[in-house]
A and B are shown apart, each in its own frame.
Chain A
Amino acid sequence: MAIRVQAQPFDPGAEVNAMHAANVGVGAVVSFVGYVRDFNDGLDVAGMFLEHYPGMTEKALAKIAVEAEQRWPLLKLEVLHRIGALEPGEPIVFVAAASAHRQAAFDACAFVMDYLKTRAPFWKKENTSEGARWVEGRASDHRAADRWKA
């Protein structure tokens, strides 16, 4: 498992290719890429700043990844999250799960994203046409995470 929290941009295509490059036993890779949009909750968004909790962020992501590895037979799992200043169109988050067959990879990828959205200490501050504002948490994210409870 690989956890990366970084200010540097990344290439999602290269990350996907790396998921199976070193292991021909991988039969399925499912990936998710989240991007900065130029519009949110009725306002144009010119960019955003991603604050995080150094130290806890990495631990929280690792804990989520370990749980995913315990629940599904994964061959590789990667979680990559940007911090700092981002512009519309830039990738913010990348999650990819590799497994022998597709279902484990689909489920693990969705699980990691749902838990990341509700448990990893990141906060988005948008630079909008009417000034800067903190993005509010969404109840729908909690409902999505709740579906994985045993």
Chain B
Amino acid sequence: MSINVLFFARYSEAVGLDSMEVEGDFATVDAVRLALASDPEFAVLNEASLMCARNQELCGLDEPLQAGDEVAFFPPVTGG
């Protein structure tokens, strides 16, 4: 399956990317995170305060995935 992964703010700067496509058999958002975080360049995804979204809605790391989903990883939000 193919998943479109987005990064924002400090995470985008840390990994040097706004978005990327990942291919693999990912059951959950956390499976995507773990696959990426095995590369030291994506170590920022190991932060305990990481937030994530699936198809533009906040979710937990255990959120199930389907092919074609959009997954986003970002630091705690600071609007307002």
Q: A residues touching B (Cβ–Cβ < 8 Å)?
A: 34, 50-53, 55-56, 59-60, 63, 81, 92-93, 113, 116-125, 134-137
Contact = CB atoms under 8 A, between A and B. Distances in A.
Please name the 10 residue pairs, one residue from A and one from B, whose CB atoms are nearest each other, closest first.
A122-B79, A137-B76, A123-B9, A56-B56, A135-B78, A117-B80, A134-B10, A124-B78, A93-B80, A120-B79
B27 interface: no
B74 A53 contact: yes
Contact of A59 (B49, B56, B79): B56
Nearest to B79: A122
Contacts of B53: 53, 56, 121
A120 B8 CA distance: 13
A14 to B, nearest CB: 21
B72 interface: yes
B67 to A, nearest CB: 20
Nearest to A83: B79
B37 interface: no
Given A121-B74, A122-B80, A123-B75, 5 more contacts: A56-B72, A92-B79, A116-B80, A119-B77, A134-B10
Given A123-B9, A125-B9, A134-B9, A55 B56 contact: yes
The interface centre, meaning the residue of B8, B9, B49, B53 with most chain A CB atoms within 10 A of its CB, is: B9
B58 interface: yes
B57 interface: yes
Contacts of B58: 60, 119
Contacts of A51: 8-9
Contact of B72 (A53, A113, A120, A123): A53
B6 interface: yes
A118 B6 CA distance: 19
Contacts of B76: 136-137
A56 B53 CA distance: 9
A147 B45 CA distance: 29
Contacts of A34: 80
